[in-house]
Amino acid sequence: MLEKVPRAKYGPQRMMEGKEEKPVDIPMQYPRTMGPNCMNYLQEVVDSGLTVDMVGRFEKAFAKELGVKHCIATPGCTPALATLAAAFDFEPGDEIINSPIADYGTLQGLVTENYIPVFADAAPGTVNLSAETIAPCITDRTRAILVVHMTGIICDMDPINELAEKHGLIVYEDACQAIFSQYKGRLAGTLGTAAGFSFDSEKTMGSDIGGCVVTDDDDLAERVRFYGQSRGAQQEPHFGRRHVALGYAYRMTQCTAAICLAQLEIVREQVVHRDKMVRLLTDLIAEIPGITPIPIPDYLDVYSCWMFGFTINPDQFTCDAEGFAKQVQDAGVPMADIGKMYLMPAACTFLEDMTRSKTYPFSMPPASHEYSFSEDNCPNARDYLENFVYWPTFCEKYTEEICEQVAGVVRAVADRYRR
């Protein structure tokens, strides 16, 4: 049993010794700041008797803010990426290279479309894949690379795009955790052929639920609407709606769009603040012996951080990451936890079941060879997550004082369990 770091010192807290005592809770995103116009937009939806096109308004506003031609609103990122997978129209058994540290929603759609996910490893000591880890995964069946900008850190996209171009591959982004992060002057979601975003209530720009696809490609945008929203239907003279493809009805609701629109008006300012706070917290955490915060690459101009995390050096502590995370949570950091569940080849056990039982598309053909899925696919990602502690409640409510408090909690846990 681990000894507890007493909460009294860190919950509603006494600040550092010698300073005035102030009760300060470590905040989380809830209750969310909804934006000054949120109620007006919701009221418009109701007052119009559902005739106002709030979804269209949000799509235009988001596309403009991002500087892209098309935004297609969806009920989440899982459906956004599923729609993209359908719209790409690859062959069953084709391979899509994926980030190893991701979410189920990253890959659900491409498995549904009978593509095969191939997990490239993370670059050592980081949460993201890189051109170097992608290169050995490319085969003659590879069609696309789906990158995830984990925690809000954009993958090093220039070398990835260069590699993809050399092999004729599409690159697209899961930008759920990185809204308005900026890579060498360019925004997450504008660094490939298309991207998916999430506006679920936990996210940096959060509604009750929601997401979207963005792209500059007119033809792809049309296919996304056709597969994702029109349910694969075409209007035929003298007949009506003819379903010529197996499509979805993944549409955002008008009320969700009203909340998204209100959130969009406040999120850029919040992201600037998150960037400042995450850099401060990273510096403070980096000073604690045995603790290494997620490294922030130099190329990242703006870090729209959704989750904060660090690794512990297991040689230096008498507890493991799980024990450490529990102590951090008990001492007042909401939802501090371990991050192993983000290791997709280990978390998605249905993939190994499918490949073992040669379930379509793992039967040969359409698959060209046998696959296997386990944490050993990606040893860098596995080893990184083994010692990883994070919380998905980092948010724009952090202040310098709160960053110091949080670092104080982590330091106290580290000191208590140091060998």
Ligand X SMILES: Cc1ncc(COP(=O)(O)O)c(C=O)c1O
Q: Residue 205 interacts with ligand X (CB under 6 A)?
A: no
Out of 128, 181, 182, 198, the only residue in the binding site for ligand X (CB under 6 A) is 198
Question: What own/partner pairs with CB < 8 Å and gap ≥ 24 does 279-282 have?
Answer: 279/303, 280/400, 280/403, 281/308, 281/394, 281/398, 281/403, 281/406, 281/407
332 touches 4 (CB < 8 A): no
CB-nearer residue toward ligand X: 263 or 405: 263
By the rule CB under 6 A, 102 interacts with ligand X = yes
Nearer to ligand X, 224 or 414 (CB): 224
Instruction: Rule CB under 6 A: say whether 94 interacts with ligand X.
Output: no
Instruction: Please state, in angstroms and rounded to a whole number, the distance separating the CA atoms of residues 395 and 291.
Output: 21
- Secondary structure, 3-state, 386-407: HCEEEECCCCCCCCHHHHHHHH
Query: Which residues, other chains included, contact 228 with Cβ-Cβ below 8 Å and sequence gap of 6+?
Result: 72, 74, 79, 80, 82, 83, 86, 87, 213, 247, 248, 250
Q: Is 78 in the site for ligand X (CB under 6 A)?
A: yes
Amino acid at 172: Y
Rule CB under 6 A: choose which of 173, 200, 337, 375 binds ligand X: 200
CB 174 within 8 A of CB 102: yes
Kindly state whether residue 77 participates in binding ligand X, applying the rule CB under 6 A. Answer: yes
Is 337 among the residues that bind ligand X (CB under 6 A)? no
- Which of 50, 79, 53, 51 shows the shortest CA–CA distance to 261? 53
What is the x/- site pattern for ligand X, positions 130-169, by CB under 6 A? ------------------x---------------------
Considering only 11, 109, 192, 211, the residue that binds ligand X (CB under 6 A) is: 211
35 touching ligand X, by CB under 6 A: no
Which residue lies nearer to ligand X by CB, 103 or 156?
A: 103
Tell which residue, 187, 167, 191, 169, has the closest CA to residue 179.
187
Kindly indicate which of the ranges 11-19, 101-109, 128-136, 383-391 contains the residues binding ligand X, using the contact rule CB under 6 A.
101-109
Single out the residue of 29, 83, 98, 106 in contact with ligand X (rule: CB under 6 A): 106
Considering the complex, what minimum distance in angstroms separates the CB of residue 168 from ligand X?
A: 26
Q: What are the φ/ψ torsions at residue 100 (nearest 5 degrees)?
A: -75, -30
User: Least distance from C-beta 254 to ligand X, angstroms?
Assistant: 18
Query: What DSSP element (H or E) covers 414?
Result: helix 400-416
Closest-CB residue for ligand X? 105
Is there a contact between 31 and 334 (Cβ–Cβ < 8 Å)?
no
Would you tell me which residues interact with ligand X (CB under 6 A)? 76-78, 102-103, 105-106, 148, 174, 176-177, 198, 200, 211
